[in-house]
Amino acid sequence: MIIAETIEQLHAALSAQREAHPRQFIGFVPTMGFLHEGHASLMRRAKEECGYAVLSIFVNPMQFGPNEDFDQYPRDAARDIQIAEKNGIDVVFMPSVAEMYPKKPVTKVMIGGVTERLCGASRPGHFDGVGLVVSKLFHLVQPDRAYFGMKDAQQVAVIERMTEDLNIPVRIVPCETVREADGLALSSRNVYLSEEERSQAVILSRTLARAEEWVKSPGMTNRALSDKIKESIGQAPLAKIDYAEVLTYPDLESLHDDAEIISHNGKILVALAVKFGRTRLIDNRLMELHGGGYHV
């Protein structure tokens, strides 16, 4: 496995690979490190489907707000390298901030529409930073396929739309959320949770499971479903809701408050962001409705 800390080293590794195996696909998994089994599942899939897999580890300062946890974001490079090697990665790209941004960027990649709700509303500027770094990484790696976890469904929608609008020649591969045995979605931020916060955080996955059943109820409107979701999360005393919304997917548009959910034709996303103490967790459930029928 090659560890590239500079763009020059990355290009050298990729050029050698393309020269030796011109017909082999390159799979790419962009991450901010502190890897867990969710990341590992993306790595394995990239390796299996493409034959050559690149992982990036870069905590991108451009997607953190002024009062967010950039400095405290968990990092463990040595452990990440071991996990990458174990899961078949061929190149790990681990640039410094100075390597990625030698000058303060004056170029912005702004994606409208799909960024206006959910995390885009509660974290202003976040997706501008995501769009900038992902577009840079796509140009640097030039992968055939890029793998993203659906735990952050809005991020997947944003990147798919950016890739489509800019005609970036990469296929985005959304991958299922990986969970703990009790249902909590894997996240690098889970390490911040106290024992009590961790025990209460399972209310997110339990609420989403209930939402799948509530959606099937005759007469269940968007307003009523949103109220039931918030009431369910409220059973956890430490939970403070940032948002709990039901939107179309991938356009992330609002449903009419009084519309019967089950009558919708297309995909809907039940998306949550909830704080436990200082730790903000996100989770979601994607469902497909067929004007009276439904499946997850």
Annotated active-site residue in 11, 39, 126, 290? 39
Was 63 annotated as part of a binding site? yes
Looking at domain 188-288, its CATH architecture is: 2-Layer Sandwich (3.30)
Q: Where are the domains of the chain?
A: 2-175, 188-288
Was 33 annotated as part of a binding site? yes
Q: Residue 265 has which token pair?
A: 């034709």
Q: Which CATH class is domain 2-175?
A: alpha beta
Q: Is the pTM of this model over 0.85?
A: yes
Was 24 annotated as part of a binding site? no
Give, for all 296 residues of the chain, the pLDDT tens digit: 999 999 999 999 999 999 999 999 999 999 999 999 999 999 999 999 999 999 999 999 999 988 788 888 899 999 999 999 999 999 999 999 999 999 999 999 999 999 999 999 989 889 999 999 999 999 999 999 999 999 999 999 999 999 999 999 999 999 999 999 999 999 999 999 999 999 999 999 999 999 999 998 888 999 999 999 999 999 999 999 999 999 999 999 988 888 888 888 899 999 999 999 999 999 999 999 887 555 55
Was 183 annotated as part of a binding site? no
11 part of the active site: no
